[in-house]
Amino acid sequence: MLTIAAICAGLSAIRFGIQGNHVLAVQLIVAACVLDGLDGRIARLLSSDSKMGAELDSLADFLNFGVAPPLVLYLWALQDMRSAGWISVLVFAVCCVMRLARFNVSNKADEDDAPSDYFTGVPAPAGALLVLLPMSVSFAFANTPLLPDVVICAYMVLVGFLMISHIPTWSFKSVSVSRHNVKFFLVGFAFVGAAVLTYAWITLVVLCVVYVGIVLWHLCFKTSHAFTQPFRKGK
């Protein structure tokens, strides 16, 4: 039911994007991201997960994160570019479906192993929120000048390439909170929830920037660790 609701949100985002209600369109895509984060966890908690649910979730991810976000962005700013803007939409969508296919294959190959602390490439929901960042910035700061169309196209393609890259991105699924630190987690959760309700677009922009910072920090950490490992072994 949650996955079907996410599909309806993604399709409705396209509808409202066509009608020119871009704010609601982005809000529906964000809602699809939240539902995507909940459906699998709730299914496992209720012992109702199934192979059909997993396949349906993957199809929903492509619609909600590979089709709806670039289309809404195209309808918002890139229609005047025509071919160039549409090519960037196609590149992003193809990158997203390739990223989801790679994830499904690796999931089936490693289903008996412990879950990894890292994804390979930027996950599809994060890619959707990142590609919509120009719209979020515009909604958060009304006086911000719109980026040139060429820059938005290049940015969309860049985010698409990040999804199919081999950059290790931290998986929040592996995070656990100890009893000693749970009070800080709850206070932080309340703060973020209040910020979302009060300054929704600014909070979304900040969360996207923080996520990029975490990805870059972990990338630098793993790179430096891989570089210094041979020296630690005496090689």
Q: Find the mean pLDDT for residues 83-98.
A: 93
DSSP state of 110: T
User: What is the rounded distance in angstroms from the CA atom of residue 28 to the CA atom of residue 218?
Assistant: 30
Give me the domains of the chain, ranges plus CATH numbers: 2-232 (1.20.120.1760)
Per-residue pLDDT at 89 exceeds 60: yes
Question: Is residue 169 helix, strand or coil?
Answer: strand
| Sign of CA pseudo-dihedral 133, 138, 144, 147 | positive
pLDDT of residue 49: 74
Q: How confident is the model at residue 71 (pLDDT cuts 50, 70, 90)?
A: very high
Residue with tokens 């529906």: 28
pLDDT at 235 over 70: no
What pLDDT band is residue 143 in, cutting at 50, 70 and 90?
low
Residues of the chain above pLDDT 70, percent? 84
pLDDT in tens, 4-61: 999 999 999 999 999 999 999 999 999 999 888 888 778 777 777 778 878 888 899 9
More confident residue, 33 or 215: 33
| CA distances from residue 221 to 118, 218, 226 in whole angstroms, order as listed | 13, 5, 9
Mean pLDDT for 70-97 is 91
Give one DSSP letter per residue of 177-230, joined into a string. Answer: --TTTHHHHHHHHHHHHHHHHHSHHHHHHHHHHHHHHHHHHHHHHHHHHHHHHH
pLDDT of amino acid 223: 57
Residue 228's alpha-carbon distances to 9, 24, 233, 234, in angstroms, are: 47, 48, 9, 10
